Amino acid sequence: MRGDSHYSRDLQLGAAMGSWASTRDSPIRTELDGPRNGDELEHLWMLTISGDHLEAVVTLFRGARAEVTVVWFSAKEDGVHTGRETGLTPGRLTEMLDGIAAMECGGAAPAWLRPVAES
């Protein structure tokens, strides 16, 4: 049902993601897609973050779930990093996005983001 608390939280997360994206400027570029009205397997929002040192996609799904993929071109630790989280709050989502932005500016990868092992 659209009036339930999960839907309300999803709307809050989308608003937080949009607000974060709208306040970014160089060197970070953002593109926000959503909201979508698909089923539970389809994303609600997708935020693409681009910079000189990384490309990231943050995907929000119904039920306050996020999946993150970062391709990091850093001289220190290049490669693909992934993370996911459930039970998100707008504050936690903003914290995660700030962690990605810090990576673009030369910071370390946040603890919730793990490198994908090469095969």
Q: Are 13 and 64 in contact (CB under 8 A)?
A: yes
pLDDT score for 2:
46
pLDDT score for 3:
44
How many whole angstroms separate alpha carbon 24 and alpha carbon 36?
23
Size of the chain, expressed as the number of residues it contains? 119
Task: Name the percent of the chain lying above pLDDT 90.
Answer: 52
How many whole angstroms separate alpha carbon 56 and alpha carbon 60?
13
pLDDT score for 38:
60
The more confidently predicted of residues 118 and 70 is: 70
Most confident of the ranges 8-17, 55-64, 110-119: 55-64
Parse the chain into domains and list their residue ranges. Answer: 3-115
Residue 68 confidence (pLDDT) above 90: yes
DSSP code string of 11-33? HHHHHHHHHHHHT--TT-EEEEE
